């Protein structure tokens, strides 16, 4: 059970993420068409807030992910995990209660509703993450994929039914999302039922374990939180200065530009437990080979921009003024994909959480300064959109510089070449029309493949020989 098991895990995660991608794509195309710009803005605001729900676990769950990556499920101390599960659940219920109380003091009825739904969501979200981390760490990828998919499928079915019966409000869509999350949580609880449903007498207050998880996991939590805020600060600035409607329009463009990240996430969640089983030296050697293949996949994925750019303004004419920024934002997948799969995964594998934290904090500081300067002085949405790519470039480059320094390799030339290709894509997309823009980028892409042709072949062969041996 070597390379076959690894490919099986990839197939489960890719299918799961393909389902998520399909649901997200259809909802991205249909919902803004039907519910109106302001309602869509509130729906996106709820989705925006829920992306930060994990912060309210305060690193408790994150360290479980770090410490037990690569373990076998039967090796886990079930009594300890049972106690941790119940303690985390109690903490989330308390926090949810205070969020709900906070919502009652909000004079805006829409914001009050959003915060109340967020209070429910954070419990569902964090308990599901606990389960998913246990499954991912112990390489139970099939169950992971099922739980990851089922909630989105239920949400999708309910959302479509809501829209088909003529409902054009955002609140039922949020309730549908919560029903989907609840369903996924129940499936997750069943998957680890021998942890959740132990006798009550086996529970004990494992405060030392909780403190151990929080004290170490807080670094990863803050690092992840800072990573989310890098784009979140920009989006919050848009909401505060340009309003909910513009926030919704820009969110649509960001969502479309970020679709390719679904597949990157699928690869990274399978790769992490495999890397944890590798020797440090072998993980170092494999970095460059993964990088070569990843960049080809990402740059090839950029061709999705051209049919989307042509068809989407026809389908969503009300959003045409924000869709023009897609040429600037589509390269998000390049830098976020590289950071997620390479920098994030390898830094966690080598336990460089502090370095990850510093990289994300520096990038966040740049994001805050750039956004504040734009909101208070320039007031230019185009400049703010371009700054997103600039900030992500800084984050990705800083991460790679640190990581490759630890690995004693140099990728300065690669980063320069990739930057030239991204700039070429952005300029051709912004200044040229179809088919000149696709021809320009196509020529650049072919040139890149020609330069990298030997390294790509070498990388594929090396991965076949070495990653497969670690799959269990």
Choice between 178 and 219, residue whose per-residue pLDDT is larger: 178
Tens digits of per-residue pLDDT, 317-348?
877 777 778 888 888 888 888 888 788 878 87
Give me the phi and psi of 151, to 5 degrees please.
-65, -40
Q: What is the pLDDT of residue 471?
A: 46
Give me the phi and psi of 168, to 5 degrees please.
-125, 30
Report the mean per-residue pLDDT for the chain: 82
Choice between 161 and 351, residue whose per-residue pLDDT is larger: 161
Residue 184: which residues within 8 A CB-CB, separation 6 or more?
128, 147, 148, 150, 151, 154
Q: What is the pLDDT of residue 126?
A: 93
Choice between 4 and 295, residue whose per-residue pLDDT is larger: 295
Count the helices and strands in the chain (H runs, E runs). 21, 0
Q: What is the pLDDT of residue 73?
A: 82
Asked if the bond preceding 156 is cis, omega within 30° of 0, the reply is: no
Q: Which two tokens stand for residue 317?
A: 């004419």
Q: Which of 11-25, 108-122, 132-146, 229-243 has the lowest mean pLDDT?
A: 11-25
Q: What is the pLDDT of residue 114?
A: 93
Residue 218 CA to residue 454 CA, distance in Å, equals 42
Q: HEC profile for 325-340?
A: CHHHHCCHHHHHHHHH
Percent of the chain beyond pLDDT 70? Answer: 85
Q: Which of 162-176, 184-198, 232-246 has the lowest mean pLDDT?
A: 232-246
Tens digits of per-residue pLDDT, 254-271?
777 676 666 666 666 666
Per-residue pLDDT for 466 more than 60? no
Q: What is the pLDDT of residue 120?
A: 95
pLDDT (mean) for 384-403: 90
Tens digits of per-residue pLDDT, 96-130?
999 999 999 988 899 999 999 999 999 999 999 99
Q: What is the pLDDT of residue 52?
A: 83
Q: Which two tokens stand for residue 149?
A: 């998919």
Is 353 in contact with 280 (CB distance < 8 Å)?
A: no
Residue 64 CA to residue 229 CA, distance in Å, equals 23
Percent of the chain beyond pLDDT 90? Answer: 20
- pTM of the full structure: 0.73
């Amino acid at each position: 059970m070597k390379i076959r098991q690894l490919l099986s895990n990839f197939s489960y995660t890719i299918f799961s993420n393909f389902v998520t991608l399909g649901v997200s794509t259809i909802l991205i195309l249909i919902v803004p068409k039907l519910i109106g710009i302001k309602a869509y803005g509130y729906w996106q605001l709820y989705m925006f807030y829920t992306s930060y729900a994990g912060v309210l676990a305060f690193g408790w769950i994150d360290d479980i992910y770090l410490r037990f990556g690569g373990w076998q499920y039967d090796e886990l101390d079930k009594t300890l995990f049972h106690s941790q599960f119940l303690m985390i659940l109690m903490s989330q219920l308390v926090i949810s209660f205070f969020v709900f109380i906070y919502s009652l003091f909000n004079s805006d009825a829409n914001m009050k509703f959003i915060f109340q739904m967020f209070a429910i969501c954070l419990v569902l979200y964090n308990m599901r993450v606990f389960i998913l981390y246990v499954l991912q760490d112990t390489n139970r990828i099939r169950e992971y994929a099922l739980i990851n998919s089922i909630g989105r499928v239920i949400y999708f079915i309910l959302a479509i039914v809501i829209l088909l019966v003529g409902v054009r409000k955002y609140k039922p869509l949020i309730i549908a999302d919560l029903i989907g999350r609840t369903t996924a949580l129940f499936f997750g609880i069943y998957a680890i039922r021998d942890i959740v449903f132990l006798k009550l007498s086996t529970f004990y207050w494992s405060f030392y374990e909780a403190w151990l998880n929080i004290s170490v996991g807080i670094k990863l939590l803050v690092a992840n939180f800072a990573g989310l805020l890098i784009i979140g600060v920009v989006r919050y600035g848009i909401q505060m200065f340009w309003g909910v409607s513009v926030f919704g329009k820009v969110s649509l463009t960001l969502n479309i530009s970020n679709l390719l990240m679904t597949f990157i996430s699928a690869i990274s969640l399978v790769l992490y437990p495999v890397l944890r089983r590798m020797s440090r030296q072998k993980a170092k050697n494999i970095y460059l080979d993964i990088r070569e293949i990843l960049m080809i996949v990402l740059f090839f994925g950029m061709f999705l921009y051209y049919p989307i750019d042509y068809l989407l303004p026809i389908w969503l004419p009300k959003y045409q003024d924000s869709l023009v920024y897609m040429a600037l934002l589509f390269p998000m997948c390049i830098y976020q994909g590289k950071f997620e799969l390479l920098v994030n995964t390898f830094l966690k594998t080598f336990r460089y959480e502090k370095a990850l934290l510093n990289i994300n904090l520096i990038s966040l500081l740049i994001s805050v300064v750039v956004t504040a300067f734009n909101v208070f002085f320039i007031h230019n949405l185009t400049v703010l959109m371009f700054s997103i790519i600039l900030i992500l470039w800084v984050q990705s480059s800083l991460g790679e510089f640190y990581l490759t320094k630890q690995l004693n390799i140099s990728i300065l030339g690669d980063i320069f070449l990739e930057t030239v290709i991204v700039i070429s894509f952005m300029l051709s997309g912004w200044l040229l029309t179809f088919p000149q823009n696709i021809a320009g980028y196509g020529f650049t892409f072919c040139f890149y493949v020609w330069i990298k042709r030997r390294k790509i072949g070498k990388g594929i062969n090396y991965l076949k020989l070495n990653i497969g041996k670690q799959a269990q």
